[in-house]
Chains A and B, each alone.
With several copies, the nearest count.
Chain A
Amino acid sequence: MARVAVQEATFDVSKEIAGLYAGRGDIGGIGCFVGIVREYAEGRRLEAMTLEHYPAMTHTAIARIAAEAEQRWNLLGCTVIHRVGRLRPGEPIVLVLAAAAHRVAALEATAFLIDWLKTKAPFWKKETYADGGEAWVEARASDEASALRWVKQSQAEPTAG
């Protein structure tokens, strides 16, 4: 059962990683991704990035994505922490951890989780620029494509096996 948190506060990566493997000997590797707010968006300097979400749905949506990863890669631990509210450039925004017996599963699951978070979890980003303007971030086709690689792989499995 994954640890899922949606919060305004930042997170402590060391503490989250230690929480996954402390006191157990079956984990051989932990894959991790930390997303960070960048200072420039297509050439415009950011003052802040504000994350809105759908509270009644967010936790369930992330838990479903995590459960899918846990099952597909036999994970021995999984953590997803997504921040909401107003963040400044250089601040961490999301943490994904996937623990497994071996590194390939841990790293693949990490990539899967962040790809799916970007396309299946109800978050919306608004950029506030240093020049005073603001705009909602548009979904990128490349994120959709990244998420789709996992669908294709999944559909191909029965045929290949």
Chain B
Amino acid sequence: MVEKPVHILYFAWLRERVGVAEETVVLPDEVRCVGDLISWLQRRGDGYARAFADTAPVRCAVNQTFADFSAAVAPGDEVAFFPPVTGG
């Protein structure tokens, strides 16, 4: 089994529901993409379950680039979760 340390960031109401702004987690080998990561997070606790209860309004970036849930997650990656942006 390969250890897969990944840095995760949460913004806006995802951050508020999860309860932390960022964390580094070691993922099991079967977590291969962002979608897998979300499924894994949903089982990580109540806050996570609430944050990811509905993934329709969840967006993500892998290594600071907007990505789909099908995007691969590799050891050392930075994955960020957030709602649709509302700046400007």
Contact = CB atoms under 8 A, between A and B. Distances in A.
Asked if chains A and B are in direct contact (CB within 8 A), the reply is yes
Interface of A: 35, 51-54, 56-57, 60-61, 82, 94, 103, 114, 117-126, 136-139, 143
Shortest Cβ-Cβ A-B pairs, 3 listed: A123-B87, A139-B84, A118-B88
Nearest to A135: B13
A120 B85 contact: yes
A123 B80 contact: no
A56 B84 CA distance: 17
B37 interface: no
A121 B83 contact: no
Nearest to B87: A123
A85 to B, nearest CB: 13
Nearest to A51: B87
Given A54-B61, A122-B61, A122-B82, A136 B13 contact: yes
B69 interface: no
Given A122-B11, A136-B13, A139-B86, 14 more contacts: A35-B88, A54-B9, A54-B61, A57-B65, A57-B80, A117-B87, A117-B88, A121-B85, A123-B85, A124-B83, A124-B87, A126-B12, A136-B86, A139-B85
Q: Is the interface of A mostly helix, strand, loop or mixed?
A: mixed
Interface string B11-29: 1110100000000000000
A57 to B, nearest CB: 4
Contacts of B87: 51, 53, 82, 94, 117-118, 121-125
B64 A60 contact: yes
B88 A94 contact: yes
Nearest to B16: A136
A137 B86 CA distance: 7
A56 B83 contact: no
